[in-house]
Amino acid sequence: MKRIVDRNNRALREQAVEVEKPLFGTRKLAKIITDMQEALGNEDDGVALAAPQIGLSLRIFVVSPRTYGKNDKSRPLVFINPRLIKRSKRERLVDEGCLSIRWLYGEVRRSENATVEAYNEKGRRFTRGGGGVLAQIFQHEIDHLEGILFTDKAKNIRDIPPPPVA
């Protein structure tokens, strides 16, 4: 099983490459997506994960069903070669963290609404819009695909480790 890499991994600072058309619908792509879903599923507080976070410089991210009102048995949403095609002008400061930058949190200015165009595993193009947390996730994950970490944009960064286990 793939592990989530930490902030020092080179893949987190590279601009991820597009998934080529011949890879759509293959076992290889299915395995990458499964690895991402499993890595995300192993994190109780994770809401999304980009391929660079498991050390793969590919333009893919997955979103946990927890973020869009589905139960844990639902499949995560998969976005391949995503493009942010629309963002609201209205922005707000939101708290953010990252599974690759444990346990830092900070405030990042994000658009309140965002729309992404992407492909699914079979190569079919789709568009998905979202507001609030989902819009924030779209922007955070696409930043990952550009080699940008939330700490590059955040203000008031603080270290909040989890409470000790009793």
Catalytic residues: 141
Closest CA to 100 of 54, 139, 134: 54
Rounded to 5°, the CA angle 94-100-105 comes to: 30
**Distance from the first to the final alpha carbon of the chain:** 28
Closest CA to 51 of 62, 42, 41, 43: 62
61 bridge partner residues = 50, 79
